[in-house]
Amino acid sequence: MLSIKDLTVSVDAKTILKGLTLDVPAGEVHAIMGPNGAGKSTLGYALAGRPNYQIASGTVMFNGEDLMDKDVHERAAAGLYLSFQYPLEIPGVPALTFLRTALNAQRKLRGEAEMSAPDFLKRVREVAKTLKIDMDMLKRPLNVGFSGGEKKRMEVLQMALLEPKFLILDETDSGLDIDALKVVSDGVNALRAPDRGMLVITHYQRLLDHIKPDRVHVLVAGRIVRSGGSELALELEANGYDRYAGEAA
Amino acid sequence: MLTHIDIFDPSSYPTRRQEEWKYSDLSRALRVVPPTSDVHRHSETVTVPAGETVTRFDVYDTSAPVVHEDLRFTLGEGASLTRIVILDEAETTVSIRQSIVETAPGSVFRQYVFSTGAHFQRFETHVNHAGHGAQVELHGAYLLKDKRHFDLTTRVNHSDVDGVTQQLIKGLVKDQATAVFQGRILVEKGADGTDARMRHQALILNDGAHIRAKPELEIYADDVQCAHGNTIGALDEEALFFCQSRGIPEDMARAMLTHAFVLPVADQIEDEGLRARVLSFLENASGDFHAL
């Protein structure tokens, strides 16, 4: 589904990812773990197409298409969803307006019919209920004045509405208390499907207790230095990343 | 000090040599549009007695060629006055609106000004801040196009302890329009415990449009919290990327963020009905504003 080969990415002339290779088949959840500065967030941003993230070499194929050929919004319409570690506040734009604009822009690009306002509201109500999001909150400007937990629940709401084929979750657990972590993880788990892949980027093993990965990869200094099953996360939690630092050099 | 103007006496007109009128040339505007018998002059004193709450909503959509307004607001102790003004004037109008606000301990004065400019438009507010828990808010938003000119000048004088002032001004200018923002907060000696915050954020949508911003904090007291921020530039690139990453094409995202740029000012209006009217005015006015 997502196939990254020998990806080298630099930001402001500094090389962050140095030949990263990774395959995530449909239906699987892979976790990327690594220390600060390893390039975890860079990977998410580069895949989503953030400006100033220069792809020096390598390829990224997504469902048989070259992802790097596409603009940011085209990647989203193709089914890629990056959940930000710190979702941005969009002053002046009510969450509902933002969601409907995004959904219909994606549908239009895919040649699908736009969703009508009543159908859209019905769908939002259903999803909001499961995520314990008040409809009044959705009338407020997106993320403005929302708590960390509310912002993350809004992210899950967007995933559920936009129904992407592939999710990249960047440090989704940051800023969440235990209860919020459960609501958010339940929301993410509900989206697990045979035709959907996920890449979960995290510092800590904690999130992976809730969202169980099929594979775990260790990212150190811009490269994957070790891959294994979910037991690898436990080992990292016990022993830390230091022992891998040498392997990356 | 507020300049006293007699619209029929050119010798009373301020000149650009005066610091407060440096960016707004009233004499020239009144040479282009000379005051005749259809000058709209308005003078009024509004008193809000102690403990009372008043909301005043003024929509100025007059097509009078020349307007001069001279208002005085006096608040009693614990009184609350919310003044919401929509300046929807003709592109040929020369308008000067001046006001003096006298606050009292524990009183609240909130002002929201929304403007699309005019040939020449000056909106000036002088506040004597009584402190002692009194709260002053001077918010505003402007959307200027063509050759319109809007000058928002505010002066707040904190003369006693424990006064709060908050100011958020947001604006968009395009074509050959000019915006002037002069915000001055003076904290006199002994006005300790003053908390004053001023923010001015604007976007210039094309070369040829201008913004003259002069935020000033003048502080003579020791124990105060004051801050001002003035940003004039482009749309927030992070927010733009965030929108695009959700599938919104760049053009559409820019248009959406530009239209939304000034709306947060209106979000603070408590009265739901009035907020809706202001939002609809701003949404109509922002239709053809688009930051590239």
The total of other beta-carbon atoms located within 10 Å of residue B10's CB is 13
**Residue B281 in contact with residue B114, Cβ under 8 Å?**
yes
pLDDT above 60 (res B7): yes
CB contact (8 A) between residue B243 and residue A102: yes
pLDDT in tens, B91-140: 999 999 999 999 999 999 999 999 999 999 999 999 999 999 999 999 99
Q: What percent of chain A has pLDDT over 90?
A: 78
DSSP B3: P
**Structure tokens given for B23:** 């960016």
A71 vs B: CB within 8 A: yes
CB contact (8 A) between residue A92 and residue B252: no
- ipTM value of the model? 0.95
pLDDT of A205 reads 84
Q: DSSP string spanning A82-100?
A: EEPSSPPP-TTSBHHHHHH
B268 vs A: CB within 8 A: no
Among A72, A87, A109, whose Cβ lies nearest the Cβ of B244? A72
- Tell me the average pLDDT across B10-32: 91
Among B243, B247, B252, whose Cβ lies nearest the Cβ of A162? B247
Assign B208 a pLDDT band (cuts: 50, 70, 90).
very high
Assign B273 a pLDDT band (cuts: 50, 70, 90).
very high
Tell me the pLDDT of chain A averaged across its residues. Answer: 92
pLDDT in tens, A222-233: 999 999 998 888
User: Over the range A147-178, which residues count as b (16 or more CB within 10 Å of their CB) and which as e?
Assistant: eebbbbbbbbbbbbbbebbbbbbbbbbebbee
Nearest to B275 by CA among B162, B110, B106: B110
B239 vs A: CB within 8 A: yes
Assign A238 a pLDDT band (cuts: 50, 70, 90).
confident
Best to test chain A binding among B242, B261, B278 (most A CBs inside 10 Å): B242
Give rounded-to-5 percent helix, strand, coil for chain A: 40, 25, 30
- Round to whole Å and give the CA distance between B68 and B121: 10
Residues 19-38 of A with CB under 8 A from B: none
Among B256, B263, B267, whose Cβ lies nearest the Cβ of A101? B256
Contacts of residue A196, defined as CB under 8 A and 6 or more positions apart, other chains included, come to: A26, A27, A164, A165, A166, A167
pLDDT above 90 (res B291): no
Among B238, B239, B247, whose Cβ lies nearest the Cβ of A76? B247
The total of other beta-carbon atoms located within 10 Å of residue B264's CB is 18
CB contact (8 A) between residue A93 and residue B257: yes
pLDDT above 60 (res A249): no
Best to test chain A binding among B199, B245, B252, B257 (most A CBs inside 10 Å): B245
pLDDT of B267 reads 87
Q: Which residues of B touch A90 (CB under 8 A)?
A: 239, 242-243, 257, 260
pLDDT in tens, A101-158: 999 999 999 999 999 999 999 999 999 998 889 999 999 999 999 998 899 999 999 9
Assign A214 a pLDDT band (cuts: 50, 70, 90).
very high
CA of A246, closest CA in chain B: separation in Å?
35
In degrees and rounded to multiples of 5, residue A65 shows phi and psi of: -110, 150
pLDDT of B292 reads 67
pLDDT above 70 (res A247): no
Nearest to B260 by CA among A154, A217, A93: A93
- The type of residue at A1 is M
CB pairs under 8 A between A and B: 85
CB contact (8 A) between residue A109 and residue B248: no
pLDDT in tens, A55-82: 999 999 999 999 999 999 999 999 999 9
CB contact (8 A) between residue A102 and residue B264: no
A189 vs B: CB within 8 A: no
Among B241, B244, B263, whose Cβ lies nearest the Cβ of A92? B263
**Structure tokens given for A216:** 């775990």
Tell me the pLDDT of chain B averaged across its residues. Answer: 94
pLDDT of A248 reads 52
Nearest to A233 by CA among A201, A186, A195: A201
A115 vs B: CB within 8 A: no
B264 vs A: CB within 8 A: yes
B4 vs A: CB within 8 A: no
Assign B83 a pLDDT band (cuts: 50, 70, 90).
very high
CB contact (8 A) between residue B245 and residue A72: yes
B221 vs A: CB within 8 A: no
Question: Which residues does residue B220 pair with via DSSP β-bridges, in sequence order?
Answer: none
The more confidently predicted of residues A241 and A77 is A77
pLDDT of A223 reads 93
**Residue A48 in contact with residue A68, Cβ under 8 Å?**
no
**Structure tokens given for A153:** 């629940």
Handedness of CA B48, B169, A100, B145 (dihedral sign): positive
Assign A173 a pLDDT band (cuts: 50, 70, 90).
confident
CB contact (8 A) between residue B239 and residue A89: yes
Among A73, A84, A141, whose Cβ lies nearest the Cβ of B247? A73
Q: Which residue of A has its CA nearest to B262?
A: A92
Assign B233 a pLDDT band (cuts: 50, 70, 90).
confident
